[in-house]
Structure 1
Amino acid sequence: MLLIIADYPNELNMREGTMQRVDAIDSLIADQERVYLNLSFKKFIKRKTNKVENCTVENLNILAHNRIIKGYIARATSIYVHSVYNLLKIMNWVEFDKTILDIHGVVPEELRSENKKIHSAIYNYIEKRAILNCKKLVHVTNAMVGHYEHKYKVPLSAKSIVLPIFEYKQILQDSNKWSDDLIRTVYVGGLQSWQNINKMVALCKNAYINNPRCSYRFEFFVPQRDVVTFKQNYSEKINACNTNISTLTREEVIPHLTQCHLGFVLRDDIIVNRVACPTKLVEYLECGVVPVVLSPHIGDFVELGYKYVTAASFENQSVELTQIEQMAQHNYSVLFEYQKRTFNAQQQLIALLTADM
C-alpha cells in the first residue's frame, strides 16, 4: 500500500503552493491505489473518509485516531510525506526505512526568518532526523541538496531525487510582441513581504523617470482580495507611469504572459530563495518573459545559464526589445534542459513508488 501524508488536492486548496506540489506528485501515480492521510491535531474529531476513484482520503485527528494512523503506517509498503510539517504529525509512529520525504522548502530557516525560534528549533530536529534516516529524499533543486549536504555534513546524492514542480504546457508564443511599441513589464503574485512589492513599485517609478527613451507598460496582477489594498498603498506612487492594477484567473495567466517582455521575481539573496524553484519563474521562461531579479541566485537557474535583467540595470539603463528577445530565446534552451532533468526525475520517482506495489 502506498500511503501519502498530506491533504488531497482539490479545487478549494489548489491555490496553495504546497498543494500544487502535492497535485504534481499525485499526477505521476494517478493510476495506482493509494491512501491519503490528512491529519490534524485540532480538526476531524469525527473520522471522515472519502473515495476519489482509486484513492482513499482519510481525514483524521492525530489524538483521537492514533490507532488508525498507526495501522496505516504499519501496513504501508511506502510512505510519502509532503514536507516536515506533515512529518511532525506522524513522528511518534514513523518508520524511516520505508519513508520518502518531499522536502518542499527549508522550513527551519523560513521559520527563523519569521522570528519563530521555538518552531524553528522543533522542525530543525525533525528535519535532521529525516535527512539522516529517510529511505529517500525528494528535493526541488540541486541547490537544496547542496544546502543539506553542507548543513549536516553528509553526502546525499545517492538517496536524493531532484524534482522541480513542472507542468508541461502547450504554449502558443506571441511573436508579434517583439514588434510592439511598448515594453510590457508584469508582476503576477500576492502581496507577501518576500515579494518585495515596495522595491518593485520603486523600480517601476525610477525606470520610467530615468529611461525616457523606453515606452513602458507596468502591469500588476494580484489576487482579487488584494486589488484594493494594492491600489491604496501604491497607485499614487506609480499613477503617472502607465500602469494597470488588476487580477487574473489561473486560466488567464499564461495567455497574458505570452504578450509580456519582462517579469518581476524580486527575491532577496537568502537561503530560502537560493534553494527554491518558483513556479512563476518557470512560467516566465515558458512564455518568453525575461525575469527582472534582485539576485539571480534562485534555485538552479544560474547553474543552467539563464538570462535575466538585474534590478539595478532595469532601473538605470534603457532596455532594447531586440536584446530582450535574444535573452528570451536563449532561455528556451535553458527551459529545455530543465524539462529533461524533470522528466528523468519523474521516471525515477514513479519507479520508486510503484516498486513494491
Structure 2
Amino acid sequence: MINVLSMDNISNRDVTAYYMDTIYKAAQEYGSANRFDFSCLPEKDSIVIVSTVIEALKLLCKGYKKVGIWIQGVLPEESYLKHQSKIRKKILEYIERLCLSRAVILFMVSKEMLRHYEKKYNLCLSDKTVIMPCFNTTIDPEAFDDSERYKKNIFTYVGSLAPWQCFTQTIELYSKLEQVLKNSELKIFTPDIEAAECICKEKIKNYSIEYVSNSKLQERLRHIKFGFILREDNVVNQVATPTKFSSYLANGVIPIFNKSIRSFDEESNEMEYVLRVERFDDVENVVNFCNKKIDLDQIQNEYRRLFDRYYCPNKYIRIIKSKFQELHLG
C-alpha cells in the first residue's frame, strides 16, 4: 500500500495538489493506493509520501521507515532569504540532509535540483528520484482564438512578493517599458495587495492589483499578451520550475524570463514565442518583441508541443509508476 498525503486541509493546496494527485494516480496504477492526513496516519510499516521535508521528519520521528518526499524548493536557502538567520538555515540543512538520505523515494522539480542536492550533501540520490516540473493546468485551445490580444501591450505579474520573485525589479522594468510603449498596462495578481500597491504607486501609472482564485486567474490570463517571471541568479531560482510558466503558456501568455530559471531556459531553447531577457533592464529586447507579429497557429502549436513533452501528466504517471516498480515499493 502506497499512502499519499491528502491536500484537503493544506494551506498551499493550489501549488501542491496537482503534483500529489499525479503521484497518487501513479500509485493507483501501480497497485494499492490510499490518501491520508496527519490526524489519521497509516500503519508504520507502510509507504507514506508527503509534500515537505518537515512532514517527513515528523513521520521519521514517529518511527516510519518508508517515507517518500516531494520537494518543491530548497528550504534552507529560501528560509535564509526570508529571515537572514544562519542558525535557522543550519537547522534546516540538517533536517533536509537527514530526510533526503533516509527517504525511499524522492520527487524533485528539476534536474538542477537533483544536481544541487547531490553536490551539497555528497549524496547519491538519482536512483531513487523522479523529476517532474511544477504545473497545474493543461493547454486551452480557446485561449489562442483571439488575435486582438497580441496587438495590445498588456503585461502581467502573478505571484507573491517573496524576495526571490523579484517583484520590485519587475516593476522597475515595466516602468521603463511604460515610457516607451503606447497603451501598455500591467495587471498584477497577488495576495500581497497592500504591499504591491505601496511599490507600484510611486513608480508606474497604468496598472491594476487584485487577488483571484486559480480558476478565475486562468480566465483573466486569456486576455494578456506577456507574463513576467524574472529571477535573481541564485540557487533558489536555479532549481525552481515556477507553476506560473504552465499557467501562462496554457493560456497563450508569452513568458518574459531570464536564464536563472535553468530548467525552463533549457526546455524552451528552441522556442520562438518566449522572451528571454539578459538583464532586469533589458528594455530594448522587450520592445523589439512587442513589434513582432504573432502567428496564432504557430504559437499554439509550439506551446502544445511543450505540454506534450514537458507538462504532460500522463507521461509522469508512467515514469512514477516505473520508479515504484524499480524500487519494489508497495
TM bucket (normalised to shorter chain) is: 0.7 to 0.9
**Does residue 272 of the first structure (1) align with residue 239 of the second (2)?**
no
What amino acid maps onto 1:266 in structure 2?
A: L
Q: 1:110 to 1:332 in 2, by over 3 A?
A: same
Instruction: Name the structure 2 match of 1:62.
Output: none
Larger radius of gyration: 1
TM-score (norm 2): 0.81
The 5 Å alignment of 1:132-211 reads 132-171=101-140, 172-177=142-147, 180-209=150-179, 211=180
Identify which of 203, 207, 224 aligns with 1:237.
203
TM-score (norm 1): 0.75
Task: Give the conservation status (yes or no) of the 8 Å contact 2:14–2:214.
Answer: no
- CA deviations on 1:160-183 (whole Å, 9 max, x unpaired) are 111223335251223323565421
1:343 is displaced (CA, Å) by: 3.3
1:126 is displaced (CA, Å) by: 2.7
Q: 1:236 to 1:312 in 2, by over 3 A?
A: closer
In structure 2, stretches of 5+ residues that fail to align are none
C-alpha separation in 1, matches of 2:79 and 2:190: 25
Task: Give the conservation status (yes or no) of the 8 Å contact 1:182–1:216.
Answer: yes
What is the root-mean-square deviation of aligned Cα atoms in Å? 3.1
1:230 is displaced (CA, Å) by: 2.9
What amino acid maps onto 2:53 in structure 1?
A: V
Q: 1:278 to 1:215 in 2, by over 3 A?
A: same
- CA deviations on 1:81-130 (whole Å, 9 max, x unpaired) are 3221112212334454x332222221122223332323322232232233
C-alpha separation in 2, matches of 1:140 and 1:11: 23
C-alpha separation in 1, matches of 2:188 and 2:77: 29
Instruction: Name the structure 1 match of 2:11.
Output: 13
C-alpha separation in 1, matches of 2:185 and 2:246: 22
C-alpha separation in 2, matches of 1:133 and 1:338: 29
The 5 Å alignment of 1:1-357 reads 1-4=1-4, 6=5, 8-10=6-8, 13-15=11-13, 17-18=15-16, 21-26=19-24, 28-29=26-27, 32-38=32-38, 58=40, 72-74=43-45, 76=46, 78-96=47-65, 98-113=66-81, 114-171=83-140, 172-177=142-147, 180-209=150-179, 211-212=180-181, 214-223=182-191, 226-239=192-205, 242-293=206-257, 295-304=258-267, 305=269, 307-310=274-277, 311-314=280-283, 318-321=287-290, 323=292, 325=294, 328=299, 330-340=302-312, 343-350=314-321
Secondary structure, aligned partner of 1:312: coil
Bigger mean CA deviation after superposition, 276-285 or 247-256: 247-256
Task: Give the conservation status (yes or no) of the 8 Å contact 2:108–2:130.
Answer: yes
Task: Give the conservation status (yes or no) of the 8 Å contact 1:185–1:261.
Answer: yes
Count matched residues: 315
Bigger mean CA deviation after superposition, 157-166 or 147-156: 147-156
